[in-house]
Amino acid sequence: MGFEQALWHTPQVARYVAFIELRQSLPGRIWTISPFVDQVKRFIARFRSSDGSEVNIEFALREALANAIIHGNHEDLNKCVYEACRCSTDGEVAITVQDEGQGFDVDAVADPTTPENLLLTRGRGIHLVKTLMDEVRFAQGGSVVYMRKAPNARPRRGKKAA
């Protein structure tokens, strides 16, 4: 369906690294975000070295999920958000979040760093996601967001530097 197409539509870099992917759906309720993100964090921790960037990944995922529920699905309890998290053995994390909404024009989103927007109470989520992740792309008219954090391979155990 649309979600599967969005996941495999993303360009693949010519590199061969083993990965595992976790796919889930999230009910359209804000209170479900924290337990959901906690589960994804545990999944990522199995493949990525702890280097401080895990906080950026967590915050970006929270923002993407909140945007999908609030702005994409308009908090419609009959709609879900779909998430896929792919972790490579070299520590790369790729997350796709898709809502069931109509999408939006990414280019029409106001820049929250301009003087006239600094005091607004909303409108920083996309900017934060783009700042926290190494790559962010939108597809299907904005109803799909693809986020990627670059690899951070775990040091090999048992070998000492000379």
Per-residue pLDDT tens digits of the chain, which is 162 residues long = 334 334 444 445 556 778 889 999 999 899 999 999 999 999 999 999 899 999 999 999 999 999 999 999 999 999 999 999 999 989 999 999 999 999 988 888 888 888 888 877 777 889 999 999 999 999 999 999 999 999 987 555 544 444
CATH fold of the domain at 2-10+17-149: Heat Shock Protein 90 (3.30.565)
Of 104, 98, 103, 58, nearest in space to 80 by CA: 98
What's the angle, vertex CA 36, arms to CA 75 and CA 50, rounded to 5?
135
CA atoms within 13 A on the CB side of 101: 26
User: Would you list the domain boundaries of the chain?
Assistant: 2-10+17-149
